[in-house]
């Protein structure tokens, strides 16, 4: 059994040894797609990091119980469906199918996928429980969480939060201010729980009152993850997730991805030009806590690098000798130490590609599994 990995924990602001609460099963919750549009490569940076961490944990000998929500009913899907004259199921089905196609193409190990719309009864039950406990109140056709009830609100984001307004009526998408936040509303004639209640309820139902790690893009940290943590702990009275992990953004040509800027890159568009292995390697080529820049030159280089690895692996399978294995032992230890110390996929991948001709086939098998590279 290899050493336990260490990870930067957003909650404590420290790199800490990671181990599951209960024995050998890791309970992992990761934020999933909102399926109102084509899946883009920015989200898949986070998904590939999550998948690679899961693969690393499996390689270490742990079981991983991984849950991911599919947000199929939210303000954006409701708004777009109304604009296009479609029902929400009609709108989201092709985008949901496209998401799962990208998951398969990029070789992500499937999670337990939970469609948020199917969980509405459970979410509404939790809203009712919060009201009964005095954590929530009704205002018109909306229900809000009382922020004054959350004594440590802001601890995850690492700052003292001072409310600037009484209520936040935007239900879902990253309001920067702190205030009583929305739990339930009737929007587009659709009574629905908020996005924060989605993740809280799905996590509690499928993983239990306490989980090992929750992961999402850095833009989820505040207020979505702060609110999700607050809701779960209000419902259970227990600390919710022991670790929180937040991969940083992906830029395109050093600019934030945007349709208006013309640099919005879909997964399907990238897969039409490059191999899934090259895409995965690009997405893992920077430490997850650093911003990653996507360019055509970088993708072209990783396409060539994959060919180099492919050839080295083929040669290693034909020339597997004891001498070759012994000479690469120090490199192997460095490779695994990089992953054990805050999951430095960038350094591990660099070592693999720079020394490809020095490894035996067995090591390639392990490295390819961890990085999710298909041969």
- pLDDT at residue 319 in the model: 78
* Domain map (residue ranges) of the chain: 15-136+147-156+197-245, 277-371
- Residue 174's pLDDT is what? 45
pLDDT score, position 49: 99
pLDDT digits (tens, 9 = 90+) for 265-275: 999 999 999 99
Does the domain at 15-136+147-156+197-245 match CATH 3.40.50.620? Answer given as: yes
- The answer to whether 107 and 276 have CB atoms below 8 angstroms apart is yes
Cβ pair 291, 68 in contact under 8 A: no
Report pLDDT for 325.
59
Across the chain, which has 375 residues, the per-10-residue mean pLDDT values are 81 97 95 97 98 97 98 93 96 98 99 97 97 95 92 89 60 59 82 92 98 98 95 98 98 90 93 98 99 98 98 88 68 97 99 95 97 97
Closest CA to 115 of 89, 90, 76: 89
Q: Determine the pLDDT at residue 338.
A: 98
The answer for residues whose C-beta is within 8 angstroms of residue 101's C-beta and 6 or more apart is 268
Closest CA to 147 of 158, 160, 283: 160
Give the model confidence (pLDDT) of 353-375 as tens digits.
999 999 999 999 999 999 999 99
CB 246 within 8 A of CB 217: yes
State the pTM of this model. Answer: 0.94
Query: Residue 352, SS3?
Result: helix
Q: Does residue 241 contact residue 208 with C-beta atoms inside 8 Å? A: no
Output the pLDDT for position 153.
92
Q: Tally Cβ neighbours within 10 Å of residue 310.
A: 17
Sign, CA dihedral 302-303-307-309, equals positive
Strand-pair category, 180-187 with 190-193: antiparallel
Smallest CA-to-CA distance from 52 within 14, 5, 91, 12 is with 5
CB atoms inside a 10 Å sphere around CB 65: 17
- For residue 171, the model assigns a pLDDT of 52
- In this prediction, residue 173 carries a pLDDT of 44
């Amino acid at each position: 059994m290899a050493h336990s990995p260490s990870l930067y924990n957003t909650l404590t602001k420290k790199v800490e040894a990671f181990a599951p609460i209960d024995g050998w099963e890791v309970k992992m919750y990761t934020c999933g797609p909102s399926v109102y549009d084509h899946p883009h490569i920015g989200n898949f940076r986070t998904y590939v990091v999550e998948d690679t961490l899961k693969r690393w944990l499996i390689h270490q000998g742990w079981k991983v119980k991984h849950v991911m929500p599919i947000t199929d009913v939210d303000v954006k899907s409701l708004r777009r469906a109304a604009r296009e004259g479609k029902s929400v199921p009609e709108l989201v089905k092709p985008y949901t199918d496209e998401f799962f196609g990208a998951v398969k193409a990029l070789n992500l190990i499937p999670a337990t996928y939970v469609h948020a719309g199917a969980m509405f009864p459970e979410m509404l039950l939790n809203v009712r429980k919060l009201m009964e406990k005095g954590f929530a109140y009704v205002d018109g056709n909306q229900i809000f969480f009382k922020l004054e009830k959350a004594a440590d609100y802001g601890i995850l984001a690492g700052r003292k939060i001072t409310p600037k307004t009484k209520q936040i009526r935007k239900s879902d998408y990253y309001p920067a201010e702190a205030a009583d936040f929305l739990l339930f509303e009737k929007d587009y004639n659709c009574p629905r729980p908020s996005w924060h209640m989605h993740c809280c309820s799905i996590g509690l139902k499928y993983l239990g009152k306490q989980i090992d790690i929750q992961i999402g893009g850095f833009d989820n940290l505040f207020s979505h993850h702060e609110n999700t943590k607050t809701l779960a702990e209000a419902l259970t009275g227990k600390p919710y997730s022991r670790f929180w992990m937040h991969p940083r953004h992906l830029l395109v040509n050093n600019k934030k991805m945007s349709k208006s800027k013309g640099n919005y890159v879909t997964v399907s568009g990238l897969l039409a030009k490059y191999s899934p292995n090259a895409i995965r390697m690009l997405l893992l080529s920077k430490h997850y806590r650093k911003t990653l820049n996507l360019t055509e030159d970088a993708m072209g280089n990783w396409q060539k690098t994959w060919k180099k690895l492919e050839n080295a692996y083929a040669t290693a399978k034909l020339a597997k000798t004891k001498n070759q294995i012994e000479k690469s032992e120090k490199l192997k230890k460095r490779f695994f130490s990089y992953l054990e110390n805050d999951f430095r996929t960038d350094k591990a991948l660099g070592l693999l590609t720079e020394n490809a001709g020095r490894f035996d086939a067995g090591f390639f098998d392990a490295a390819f599994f961890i990085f999710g590279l298909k041969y």
